[in-house]
């Protein structure tokens, strides 16, 4: 219904889908992490996830994060090849993730609000490194690194800069690729240690 409304009232919403005339091409676009493919998928799932979120009494802000979480998880799974194209629209897959996550989100809220949660059946979360709490946690871990290490990690893993380009553009203090990689390896090790310490403190 929401999609029909989108089409009826705001045709621009689906313009990003022009590049993806079928489900296979959209899937391929998502594998390449193309911004238009992400926008197209978002346009296709937003209405449905909004309704799912509302039916689970989620606030608008939480629904926004839910949409983002689900698309992120979808792309992650495509990258990991745990989700492969079988002829179905990727939107269907994302909406299924959303249903599961909305249920879990609501359940977690209830746990905080009431004591009578023993009747609520537990259900395993999707792998959710891409969810808002997880990414916020990672940002906090990164913030514990010294600025040079933060920079090295961000350049490689968040901005996907090639080591050679980082040296050529003098984005760090290092003048050779080997020196850069050596230092980054140490930084990553520190980050892993911070992650392990955080996990221990959360247990």
Partner 1 sequence: MENFYHHKIEDYLLGELEGNELIAFENALQSDPSLAKSVAQHREMMQRLDALRIRNKVKSATAPQSTKSVARSSNRMLWAIAASLTLLVAAIWWINQTEQTPPAIIETQPPIVQPDAPQTPSEEIKRTLPPQPKEKAKEKQQWVALAREYQENPTQTLVRDAAQAEGDRSPQTRSQKAFEAFYNQNFSLASELLKDDKMVQEDEVARYIRANARFNIGQFASAAHDFDALEGSFQFKHEARWNFLLCQIALGNMKTTKALLAEMVAEEDFPFRAKALELNEKLDGF
Name the site residues for partner 1 (rule: CB under 8 A): 2, 5-6, 9-10, 13, 33, 35, 38-39, 42-43, 46-47, 49-51, 54, 60-61, 63-64, 67-69, 71-72, 75-76, 79, 129-130, 134-135, 138-139, 153, 157-158, 160, 181-182, 184-186, 188-189, 191-192, 195-196
Structure tokens that stand for 63 in this block: 């629904």
Quote the least distance from Cβ 122 to partner 1, whole Å: 23
Least distance to partner 1, CB of residue 157, Å: 4
Mapping DSSP to helix (H, G, I), strand (E, B) and coil, where does residue 127 land? coil
Q: Tell the smallest beta-carbon distance from residue 46 to partner 1 (Å).
A: 5
Measuring CA to CA, which residue among 58, 59, 30, 60 is closest to residue 44? 30
| Integer-rounded Cα radius of gyration of the chain | 20
Residue whose CB is less far from partner 1, 79 or 111: 79
For partner 1, give the closer residue by CB, 51 or 100.
Answer: 51
Q: Are 84 and 28 in contact (CB under 8 A)?
A: no
* Nearest residue (CB) to partner 1, 117 versus 197: 197
Q: How far is the CB of 118 from partner 1 (least distance, A)?
A: 32
- What is the distance between the alpha carbons of residues 157 and 125, in angstroms, rounded to a whole number? 25
CA distance 49 to 71: 11
Residue 120 or 199: the one with the smaller Cβ distance to partner 1 is 199
Q: Quickly tell me which residue has 């968040």 as its tokens.
A: 158
Cβ 181 to partner 1 shortest distance, Å: 7
Nearer residue to partner 1 within complex by CB, 109 or 150: 150
Name the H helices within the chain: 2-9, 23-31, 35-55, 60-80, 90-113, 132-143, 147-153, 163-168, 177-202
Phi/psi of residue 42, nearest 5 degrees = -60, -45
């Amino acid at each position: 219904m929401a999609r029909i409304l989108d089409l009826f009232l705001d045709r621009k919403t689906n313009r990003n889908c022009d590049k993806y005339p079928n489900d296979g091409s959209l899937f391929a676009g998502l594998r390449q992490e193309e911004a238009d493919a992400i926008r197209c998928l978002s346009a296709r799932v937003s209405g449905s996830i909004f309704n799912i979120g509302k039916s689970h009494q989620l606030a608008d802000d939480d629904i926004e994060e839910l949409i983002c979480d689900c698309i992120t998880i979808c792309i992650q799974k495509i990258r990991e090849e745990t989700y492969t194209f079988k002829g179905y629209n990727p939107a269907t897959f994302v909406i299924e993730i959303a249903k599961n996550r909305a249920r879990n989100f609501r359940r977690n809220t209830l746990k905080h609000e009431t004591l009578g949660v023993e009747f609520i059946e537990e259900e395993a979360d999707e792998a959710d490194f891409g969810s808002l709490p997880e990414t916020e946690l990672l940002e906090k871990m990164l913030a514990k690194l010294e600025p040079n290490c933060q920079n090295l990690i961000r350049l490689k893993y968040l901005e996907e800069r090639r080591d050679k380009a980082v040296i050529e553009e003098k984005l760090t203090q290092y003048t050779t690729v080997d020196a850069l990689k050596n230092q980054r390896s140490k930084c990553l090790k520190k980050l892993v240690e911070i992650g392990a310490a955080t996990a221990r403190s959360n247990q």
